[in-house]
Amino acid sequence: MEASYAKLVERLGEVQDIASSAGVLAWDQRTKMPVAGAAARADQLSTLTRLAFERFTADEIGSLLEEFRPYEDSLDRDSLEASLIRVTRRDYEKAVRVPLELRGEMARAGALAEPVWREARKTSSFELFLPYLEEAIELKKRYIECFQPVDEPYDALLDDYEPGMKTAEVRAVFAELRDGLVPLVAAIAERTDAVDDSALTGDFPLERQEEVEAAILHAFGFADEEWRVDETAHPFASKGGPRDVRLTTHHQANNLTSLFACMHEFGHGLYEYQVDRDLYRTPLGRGASLGVHESQSRMWENMIGRSLPFWERFFPTVRDAFPGRLGGLDAEGFYRAVNRVQPSLIRIHADEVTYNLHIILRFELEQALVDGSLAPADAREAWDAKIEEYLGIDVPDVADGVLQDMHWSGGAIGYFPTYALGNVISGQLWERIRRELPDLDERTRAGELGDLREWLRENVHRHGRKYMPAELLERTVGGGLDPQPLLAYLRAKFGQIYELPA
């Protein structure tokens, strides 16, 4: 078994190398590559995707996995060997269901669609993007057919991002979340004038924004020799290797949204950075799921980055960079301003309270698109109607509506629910962190966040994909998905800010 295991690790390392190379090319396309390079990049990504798929689904991998079956019960379930075999088997059995040609088509379609999405959003032209959306949906329907039978068509897509999760479970969690948020949003709406965020709009020179972001990211744990930050249209984080973490952001000269985008992407980057190095070049060497991943980014952006103790430490840095805009505020005033609740069009700029409504909207639309009850051509009108229903605002154009996210251009359908699931998980983790690190506020005021990083490394990050998301959550907080800790956190925080009745 030892020789076979070594051979499996070697083969999986080659697959991971190819996938990492494709990831770097995708990062380059979204940050540095000239737009005209899209067609060639589509070919390159399609080839690498095909090569990785061929190597991973080779008969040799299947034979090696079969060799291990008689020994699996005797292995310590928590060991690297048992975890690697278990996760590889699950990935392999999913992968062999999907024809190689379909994998290549999906990769190529995504690479071609992204620059079109950018232009369509820039020109607010849904018609320009529609053929690419139609192709993405059709490809996903073909993909779903590979996994029949499923309880619901959307299950096959959701499982790619949140392994083991079912659409019905997400629907139930979201219903409980929505029922808790609606009265909170309504109560805050009665106190809209209690928070003034006018100082956050104006002249914020980009060079100074970058200086502030660098100071805060370094306090978070950013290391110049292992991390970098670049500009992109839609912020994301990626990892080229265990010491190669790449964050992106999107600066605007009239606001500070990029600052919070950097905090958000740092959470993703830290997760990848703190996965045990022993798991590198294996299928275990990344986050457990996108929902768990999002719990990390939302925690650093909101629970730390929008907390009063944090700004009691860092507001002087921001005020000194922008005295003309922020000179009249103190730390508490800035804290209140960056936590203003206001229904808005753009998901990535939404406040903590209304954000999940954006996700529930997308979750419902995606189910309808893949089950055929909503035609892609009608997605714009359906989007606008749900924005009106959930947030009570009109959508002026598709750039701020159905075209605002890049996910559909890349075929990432099934991804959106993980954002709200991440918020739910962050609430559960935060509840435990507050119990186990009772002096966290004091440490945050001092700019000392090492204990938080270490807690997250020990309890979440180091495990990578050794455990299914539900098992990791059970090990960490002692239970399954529960939106109540998040709702309690939001009621307490915004109840105080808006002076709501207890």
Nearest CA to 366 among 349, 350, 383, 381? 383
Q: What is the DSSP string of 270-338?
A: HHHHTS-GGGTTSTTSS-S-HHHHHHHHHIIIIIITTSHHHHHHHHHHHHHH-HHHHTT--HHHHHHHH
State the distance between the two ends of the chain, measured CA to CA, in whole angstroms: 62
Burial-class residue 150 by CB neighbours within 10 Å (0-12, 13-18, 19+).
middle
Task: Determine the residue type at 171.
Answer: R
Distance CA 365, CA 370 (A): 9
Q: Are strands 244-249 and 237-241 parallel, antiparallel or unpaired?
A: antiparallel
A 10 A CB-CB count for 398 gives 22
**Are 429 and 452 contacting, i.e. CB atoms less than 8 angstroms apart?**
no
**Are 376 and 132 contacting, i.e. CB atoms less than 8 angstroms apart?**
no
Who's near 251: CB < 8 A, 6+ residues apart? 206, 209, 210, 231, 258
| Residue whose token pair is 């950097």 | 262
Distance CA 463, CA 305 (A): 25
Q: Which residues are catalytic?
A: 265
A 10 A CB-CB count for 70 gives 9
**Are 422 and 473 contacting, i.e. CB atoms less than 8 angstroms apart?**
no
**Are 429 and 460 contacting, i.e. CB atoms less than 8 angstroms apart?**
yes
